Amino acid sequence: MSNAPAGALGPSSVERADRVSGAGSRPPSRTSAPPFKKILIANRGEIALRIIRACRELGIATVAVHSEVDARALHVRFADESVCIGPAQAARSYLHIPAIISAAEITGADAIHPGYGFLSENPEFARLCAKCGVTFIGPTPEAMRAWGDKVTARANAKRFGFPLLPGSEVLRDADHAVSEARRIGLPVIMKASGGGGGRGMRIVRAESEVAAAFRQATHEAESGFKNPDVYMEKFVERPKHIEFQVLADKHGGVWTLGERECSLQRRHQKVMEEAPSPVMTPELRQQMGEVMRKAILETGYTSLGTLEFIMDEDRKLYFLEMNTRVQVEHPVTEMVTGLDLVSLQIRIASGEKLELGDTRPWSFRGHSIECRINAEDPRTFAPWPGLITEYFPPGGTGVRVDSGVYGGWTVPQHYDSLLAKLIVHAPTREEAITRMRRALDEFIVGGIRTNIELHKRLLDDDEVKSGEMTTRTIERLIAQSA
């Protein structure tokens, strides 16, 4: 591609991966042909490794793309081929569409898996993949626009009967924001229409703060997502955050795979997740599953999807948004359903009809908890890049670690601070908490600072142990220890 960074691509930059611990070896032949011959993974870190593992079990070759600073990363080492796509800055590498599509073309990849973050919810990227004859592993560009844009998603949710908090359409200017805040009633929260992860969000409790909050949210939305549109919703002070996993193939099959409890957050970033939610009832799960299945079927959505809700103190759910990609916290759903969501996502993209049986809400097996282990200062939560001098992940019955780091690896300053996802599974929630405490005690990361101690404190907190945690729990815990 003519817009690819100079020197980033070319025959000399495509390398056969090192053969370490079986890396690159193909599994025994399958009874049916693999869904794709070769998949390029447009991501890095643990999710890139997770996709490589799924591909290897499906008999699919893999291509890792990487920035210059990620040349020694594990996803590069374990893929079958690798391509350097640019310098450390994400805008010039992992977000640079011409370089990624060029890498797919020169390696002969017939599909691209975007993982999460980066280009995973970019409908233009999905459109360009199709234009270049490469399958985008995810929903169609049209479905991404219909559900990925938060204002459009709210309209869809209203049409299908999802409960909604009072809110606005896209705000035209500061004066419109003030009038809408008066109509909805303070406090309100402003949100970026095309984003997530806490960027472009502003909580407003006084009318005098509305105009400034609108300008700040618009600026963040433009810089973070290239889309300045923001809207507002009524703000719930102490909600729970609950999300539902759905799966749909291209033959009318839709499966609702239950919910995840994601209330433990800091600055709108999730810290710990579990499945199922300790406050969900079978009746509410069934009710929500039926509404979601109807919405997915009638909008023609396919692939993985996650519908996010908040729950107020009266245990009422309100639709927030839909994520049209695999989630960071997908492993807890995998642990309690016994499904490989990434493998299913790939098979759906190939057009395969899934044979998963009944489409009613899935039955859970036990309980699962995930802790996000981040490289950050435990007091200030500032990112803490640097050399990992020692790395020993926990193990044992019911323990899983999804990670892309190792001892001797230098955590770069240019990307998200996630080091690993520690996941446990046990017959009951109480046993899962006990197992997670044990696993956290075993986790050794030397040379940098991590948030492991925060997870230990959370598991000992009364709100968490009782299942009554909210999105304000971590904020309260920090205030108590200040």
pLDDT digits over 230-279, tens only? Answer: 999 999 999 999 999 999 999 999 999 999 999 999 988 999 999 999 99
Computed on alpha carbons and rounded to an integer, the radius of gyration of the chain in Å comes to 22
Compute the Cα dihedral for 15, 20, 24, 25 and give only its sign.
Answer: positive
Closest by CA to 98, choosing from 79, 78, 119, is: 119
Note whether 90 and 99 are within 8 A (CB).
Answer: no
Burial class (CB in 10 A: 0-12, 13-18, 19+), 253: middle
Which residues, in sequence order, are bridge partners of residue 15? 82
pLDDT at 360: 62
What is the distance, to the nearest Å, from the Cα of residue 387 to the centroid of all Cα atoms in its chain? 26
Find how far residue 107's CA is from the centre of its chain.
27
Whole-number pLDDT of residue 4: 40
> Within 325-472, where are the H helices?
330-337, 341-349, 429-442, 452-459, 462-466
**Hey, which bits of 193-302 come out as E strands?**
202-204, 230-234, 240-248, 254-266, 269-275
- Selecting from 3.40.50.720, 3.40.50.2000, 3.30.565.10, 3.30.470.20, what CATH number does the domain 240-481 have? 3.30.470.20
Dihedral sign computed on CA atoms, order 209, 213, 214, 219? positive
pLDDT at 278: 97
Q: Greatest CA span in the chain, whole angstroms?
A: 66
Residues of the chain with CATH 3.30.470.20: 240-481
Q: Whose structure tokens read 């890792």?
A: 64
Low-confidence ranges of the chain (pLDDT < 70): 1-31, 195-198, 359-361
11-137 CATH choice from 3.40.50.970, 3.50.50.60, 3.40.50.20, 3.10.130.10? 3.40.50.20
φ/ψ (deg, to 5) at 413: -85, -5
pLDDT at 31: 52
Residue 306: strand pairing partners: 245, 323
Phi, psi values for residue 282, rounded to 5°: -60, -35
Tokens at 12, concatenated: 């000399």
Q: Is the four-CA dihedral 345, 137, 111, 359 of positive or negative sign?
A: positive
Q: Using an 8 Å Cβ cutoff, are 367 and 429 in contact?
A: yes
**Integer Cα distance of 467 and 279 in angstroms:** 7
Residues β-bridged to residue 167:
233
Q: What local confidence, expressed as pLDDT, does residue 361 receive?
A: 66
pLDDT for 363: 85
366: its two tokens: 């036990």
- Asked whether the bond before 276 is cis by omega within 30 degrees of 0, the reply is yes
Q: Which of 371, 262, 268 is nearest to 306 (CA)?
A: 262
- b or e along 92-107 (b: 16 or more beta carbons within 10 Å of the residue's beta carbon)? bbbbbbbbbbbbbebb
Q: What pLDDT was estimated at residue 217? A: 92
Tokens of residue 421, six digits: 């996802």
Calculate helix-pair angle for 150-159, 282-299, nearest 10 degrees.
Answer: 110
User: What positions carry a catalytic annotation?
Assistant: 325
Q: Which fold has domain 166-234?
A: Dna Ligase; domain 1 (3.30.1490)
| pLDDT score for 151 | 84
Contact (CB, 8 A) for 243 and 265: no
75 vs 307: CA distance, rounded Å: 29
Parallel/antiparallel/unpaired status of strands 240-248 and 230-234: unpaired
CATH 3.30.1490.20 domain locations along the chain: 166-234
Which residues are CB-contacts of 429 (< 8 A; sequence separation ≥ 6)? Answer: 274, 278, 367, 467
pLDDT for the residue numbered 197: 62
Helix, strand, or coil (residue 80): coil
Closest CA to 244 of 201, 272, 300, 284: 284
Please tell me the distance from the alpha carbon of residue 437 to that of residue 455, in angstroms, as a whole number: 9
pLDDT of residue 1: 39
Q: Where in the chain is the domain with CATH 3.40.50.20?
A: 11-137
